[in-house]
Amino acid sequence: MNRQDKIQKMHDKRLKRARAKTKTSSKERYVSKADRAKAEAENPEVASEDKKE
């Protein structure tokens, strides 16, 4: 691999990392089944409203 290829790969790697930081996801954060059960135990009113929708 020559020097220009190495430089280009390093540049691409940095760009990829920078873009990954700025990219935001529209997906909701995953909540495990255990955490959902725990939240329902703490606030049964809020959890029951979520199930109705």
- Residue in this structure with the two tokens 């909540």, named with its chain if needed: 31
Is this structure's pTM higher than 0.95? no
Q: How far apart are CA 32 and CA 9, in angstroms?
A: 38
Q: pLDDT tens across 7-46, in order? A: 999 999 999 999 998 887 788 889 999 999 999 998 877 6
Closest residue by Cα to residue 35 from 47, 48, 49, 53: 47
**pLDDT attached to residue 51:** 58
DSSP symbol at 30: P
